[in-house]
């Protein structure tokens, strides 16, 4: 069994930067981390590898050269190899253009039985890329997965739904997007770190994937961010001190009544 774990590098929660001209996220920061839910996906792939003879795990990431760090971490945790999809042509890609590149990479790998990724990324929060990859590959997809039990020809998957859980039998190959409840990510071993240092991360561009540039990056993205702005917070603060006279309470009641009248007028009532 060959499993592909899609691993995305995202900015730390306090280090998100946007390009105001293109409306895209700046991904060249040094403080980038592996998307937490993708860590769960990788951990699940490695668990299946340990329990299923002959299973290999390939970690795949799309991003700038700095994303190689995420793949090295994946190898240190137990992945057999890492593949970085990197090119200037990929810059500024939306979820559709990103899924197009990832799907092409999976096709190039061949004989993939299972693709795992987090159900969303902490930067975009769209949850669209995994299902789009499956659609472009023409394979079934199951989302919000909390448990995977592999069989010979099918897998039994338990997913979270609004009112509980749903058990699904799904044939290979398939895509699964996982939730954090599926497992608890571990830590790399010393031997894993040595393996990661010695393993060469492959780099594929649009040439290796056979993709035309007009379908990639910002050019190939049908969705655009048209405006970026920071919300303005305005607070009118008044401090009323209690002096025992009861005046503060009276002022507060009067203030609330005034605000209520203004609200009614503003609502057109």
User: How does pLDDT run across 13-67, given as a tens digit for each residue?
Assistant: 655 566 666 555 665 556 788 899 999 999 999 999 999 999 999 999 999 999 9
Helices (H), ranges, the chain: 36-51, 68-77, 95-109, 129-137, 190-198, 206-209, 247-266
Tell me which residue has tokens 């509980």.
164
**Stated length of the chain:** 269
Give residue 224's region: left, alpha or beta (phi > 0; psi -120 to 50).
beta
User: How does pLDDT run across 236-267, given as a tens digit for each residue?
Assistant: 777 777 677 777 788 888 888 888 887 766 55
User: How does pLDDT run across 54-112, given as a tens digit for each residue?
Assistant: 999 999 999 999 999 999 999 999 999 999 999 999 998 999 999 999 999 999 998 99
Label residue 125 by pLDDT band (50, 70, 90): confident
SS3 category, 17:
coil
């Amino acid at each position: 069994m060959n499993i592909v774990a899609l691993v995305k590098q995202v900015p730390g929660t306090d280090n998100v930067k946007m390009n105001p001209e293109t409306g895209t996220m700046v991904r060249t920061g040094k403080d980038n981390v592996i998307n937490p839910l993708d860590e769960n996906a990788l951990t699940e792939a490695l668990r299946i590898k340990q329990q299923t003879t002959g299973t290999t795990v390939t970690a795949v990431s799309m991003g700038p050269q700095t994303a190689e760090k995420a793949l090295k971490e994946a190898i240190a945790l137990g992945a057999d190899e890492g593949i970085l999809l990197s090119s200037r042509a990929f810059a500024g890609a939306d979820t559709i253009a990103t899924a197009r590149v990832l799907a092409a990479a999976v096709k190039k790998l061949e004989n993939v039985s299972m693709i795992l990724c987090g159900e969303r990324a902490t930067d975009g929060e769209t949850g669209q890329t995994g299902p789009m990859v499956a659609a472009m590959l023409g394979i079934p997809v199951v989302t919000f997965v909390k448990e995977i039990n592999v069989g010979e020809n099918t897998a039994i998957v338990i997913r979270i739904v609004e009112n509980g859980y749903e058990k699904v039998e799904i044939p290979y190959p398939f895509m699964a997007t996982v939730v954090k409840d599926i497992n608890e990510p571990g830590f790399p071993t010393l031997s894993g770190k040595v393996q990661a240092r010695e393993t060469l991360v492959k780099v594929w561009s649009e040439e290796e994937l056979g993709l035309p540039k007009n379908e990639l990056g910002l050019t190939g993205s049908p969705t655009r961010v048209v405006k970026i702005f920071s919300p303005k917070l305005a607070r009118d603060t008044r401090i009323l001190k209690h002096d025992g006279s009861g005046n503060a309470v009276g002022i507060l009641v009067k203030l609330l009544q005034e605000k209520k009248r203004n609200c009614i007028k503003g609502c057109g009532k």
